[in-house]
Amino acid sequence: MNNKKRIVIAEDHTILRDGLKALISSEPNLEIVGEASDGLEAIKVINELKPDLVLMDLSMPRMNGIDAIRDIKRMSPETMVLVLTVHKTEEYVLESLKAGANGYLLKESTHAELINAIFHVIEGKPYLSPGISDKVINGYLSGKETHRVNSVFDTLTVREKEVLKLVAEGYKNKEIADYLFISVKTVEKHRNNLMKKLDLHSASALTSFAIEKGLVTR
């Protein structure tokens, strides 16, 4: 009888997805039963397989991880969701948890921490990466989300941050639209909103800002 816990990996980078698959599959009590490279594909795979856990990236094309989590939790509430991401800001953590995530782990974590987090979440225990500030964790657990704004960066939506990252990586509007599966007009609207909110008026200025905030490295 197979008592292995069944896992789906939702991650748009093939190399990282393959590495996660190899690492997790080496654990005798875990098995990878499905993969997805974007949010919409993740929803489809999870609806078909009903796994014990999905390892979910947040920045993916077509549908981001936070929106996918909401749909997954409505469709398959018994499936646990462990976010695996580079994002450590309060907005991403709180939005993921509100969407239904059962755990939040940073990609800078060790292999041992990843496996530990997976077993924690599968057993029904919430898991938050030690790399996330105590202030964010305590604010969420106490139910007292802060309404302060540390900077204009905090006012950007998840989608605006995705567009900002792609602009900083050198993608043109058409390429961004194709990657995110949105219209060029929508991309232009997001870029205009970014420039207004940040008071930055060129791609180079947006790029410098994204580097400063750690969205991209150069």
**pLDDT tens digits for range 148-184:** 445 677 788 888 888 998 998 899 999 999 888 889 9
H/E run at residue 139: helix 134-141
With a CB cutoff of 8 Å and minimum separation 6, the contacts of 147 are none
CB half-sphere exposure, 66, CA atoms < 13 A: 15
CATH topology of domain 152-212: Arc Repressor Mutant, subunit A (1.10.10)
CATH H-level, domain 5-141: superfamily: Response regulator (3.40.50.2300)
Helix locations, 26-141, DSSP H: 39-49, 65-75, 90-99, 111-122, 134-141
Per-residue pLDDT tens digits of the chain, which is 218 residues long = 568 999 999 998 999 999 999 999 999 999 999 999 988 899 999 999 999 999 999 888 777 888 899 999 999 999 999 999 988 777 788 889 989 999 999 998 999 999 999 999 999 999 998 877 565 666 656 654 444 445 677 788 888 888 998 998 899 999 999 888 889 999 999 999 999 988 888 888 898 888 877 777 55
Model confidence, pTM: 0.69
Count H helices and E strands in the chain, helices first: 10, 6
Domain with CATH 3.40.50.2300 in the chain: 5-141
Helices 65-75 and 90-99, packing angle to 10 deg? 20
pLDDT at 76: 92
Separation of alpha carbons 188 and 89, rounded Å: 25
CATH 1.10.10.10 intervals, the chain: 152-212
